[in-house]
């Protein structure tokens, strides 16, 4: 018996979200009276694998093999399912990330396991196994009961704290054997953002809307983001106009994020935009319109002109960072 947690790696490295997953899996394992086992696919150094032990993993399976260089959800799900069966996993946890969302439903079918995706808390109950997840694009939460013997959960990034535990995990090397049908997917090009803080990883996000008036005004916004080690984001009209890249669009049909702090500059707060950011722990809004809907969800607000307020905010942040 075990709780299996799939920890994706990026060029052989884990991220904070990986440790959140292991912390979460450890807690779930306690609740179902078993132990957490981490599964990593692809080459990762021992010292990096051991980090997972710091967050409670009892055993870490280091799985490597041919045909696992390109992300093919079918092949990866096949490998994870095999490991889940081998480890007698009754609960399988993945991240609600691009890859997690691609893998979880395939695993669900393979293992005849009900899936609760986008959970942000520990299960509300174990018997019945009920989880709490976002519904109606953030306008409600659903209590979802998973009726099958094996359960799969995908955990939202930045929704569960890191819990350190002492322990020396066992690291097991496993060689994956390629599936008979082989890889169908071939990568022909990759475009990566370099240098910038990834929007989905960022703890602080500074975002601009139409109230910024022009793409030429983004300098101070980027400066504020830089000082806060924040990622930059934008509302849909801004990305549609081409003022900012599509990867910055946060909202219902763009990215859904839940940073610790979301600073919305010149964003009115249309329903579709809020669907992307309403789970943020803190929302700060700067807008010239005191009745802008964004102020209904913000904890802190400034009614004012972004162009005047931003330089003052920058100065204030510089001051406190200097201390």
Partner 1 sequence: MRVLVCMSQVPDTTTRVKFVDDNKKLDTSGVQWIINPWDELSLTRALELKDDVNTGVKSVTLAHVGLATSEPTLRKALAIGADDAIRVNADPVDAFYVASQLAEVTKKDPYDIILCGIESSDHNGSNVGGMLAELLDLPSVSGVSGIHITGGQIQISREIDGGREMVTLPVPFVAIVQKGIAKEPRIAAMRGIMMARTKVIKVVEPVAAKAYTEVTGFELPKPRAACRFIDPERPKLLIELLQNEAKVI
The yes or no reply on residue 322 touching partner 1 (CB under 8 A) is no
Closest to partner 1 by CB, 1 or 198: 198
The yes or no reply on residue 86 touching partner 1 (CB under 8 A) is no
The yes or no reply on residue 277 touching partner 1 (CB under 8 A) is no
The yes or no reply on residue 69 touching partner 1 (CB under 8 A) is no
Ramachandran assignment for 252, one of left (phi > 0), alpha (psi -120 to 50 degrees), beta (any other): alpha
Closest to partner 1 by CB, 165 or 196: 196
**Cα–Cα dist 74/188, whole Å:** 19
Interstrand relation of 36-41 and 129-135 (parallel, antiparallel or unpaired): unpaired
Tokens of 30: 């306690």
The yes or no reply on residue 228 touching partner 1 (CB under 8 A) is yes
Closest to partner 1 by CB, 46 or 321: 321
The yes or no reply on residue 136 touching partner 1 (CB under 8 A) is yes
Sign, Cα dihedral of 90, 166, 125, 203: negative
Q: Which stretch binds partner 1 (CB under 8 A): 36-44, 59-67, 170-178, 248-256?
A: 248-256
For partner 1, the binding residue among 168, 184, 214, 322 (CB under 8 A) is 184
187-216 residues in contact with partner 1 (CB under 8 A) are 187-193, 198, 200-201, 203-204
Count of residues that bind partner 1 according to CB under 8 A: 97
DSSP symbols for 262-291:
EEEES----HHHHHHHTT-SEEEEEES-TT
Q: Which stretch binds partner 1 (CB under 8 A): 23-31, 58-66, 215-223, 274-282?
A: 274-282
3 state DSSP class of 132: strand
Q: Please identify which residue in the block is written with the tokens 């899996």.
A: 25
Tokens of 304: 């004012």
């Amino acid at each position: 018996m075990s709780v299996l947690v799939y920890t994706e790696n990026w060029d052989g490295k884990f991220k904070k979200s990986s440790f959140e997953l292991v912390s979460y899996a450890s807690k779930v394992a306690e609740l179902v009276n078993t132990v957490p086992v981490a599964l990593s696919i692809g080459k990762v150094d021992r010292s990096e694998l051991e980090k997972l032990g710091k967050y409670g993993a009892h055993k870490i399976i280091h799985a490597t093999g041919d045909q696992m260089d390109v992300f093919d959800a079918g092949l990866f799900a096949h490998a994870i399912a095999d490991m889940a069966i081998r480890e007698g996993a009754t609960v399988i946890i993945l991240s609600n990330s691009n890859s997690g969302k691609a893998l979880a439903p395939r695993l669900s079918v393979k293992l005849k396991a009900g899936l609760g995706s986008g959970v942000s808390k520990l299960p509300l109950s174990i018997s019945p196994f009920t989880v709490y997840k976002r519904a109606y694009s953030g306008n409600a939460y659903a209590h979802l009961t998973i009726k099958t013997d094996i359960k799969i959960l995908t955990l939202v990034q930045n929704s569960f704290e890191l819990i350190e535990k002492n322990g020396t995990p066992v690291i097991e090397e496993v060689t994956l054997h390629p599936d008979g049908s082989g890889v169908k997917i071939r990568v022909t090009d990759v475009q990566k953002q370099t240098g910038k803080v990834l929007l989905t990883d960022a703890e602080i996000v500074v975002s601009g809307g139409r109230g910024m008036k022009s793409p030429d005004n983004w300098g101070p916004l980027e400066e504020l983001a830089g000082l806060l080690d924040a990622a930059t984001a934008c509302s849909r009209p801004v990305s549609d106009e081409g003022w900012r890249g599509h990867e910055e669009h946060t909202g219902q049909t763009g990215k859904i994020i839940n940073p610790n702090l979301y600073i919305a500059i010149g964003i009115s707060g249309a329903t579709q935009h809020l669907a992307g950011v309403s789970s943020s722990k803190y929302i700060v809004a700067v807008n010239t319109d005191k009745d802008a809907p964004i102020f209904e969800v913000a904890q802190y607000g400034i009614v004012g002109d972004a162009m005047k307020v931003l330089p003052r905010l920058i100065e204030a942040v510089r001051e406190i960072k200097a201390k």
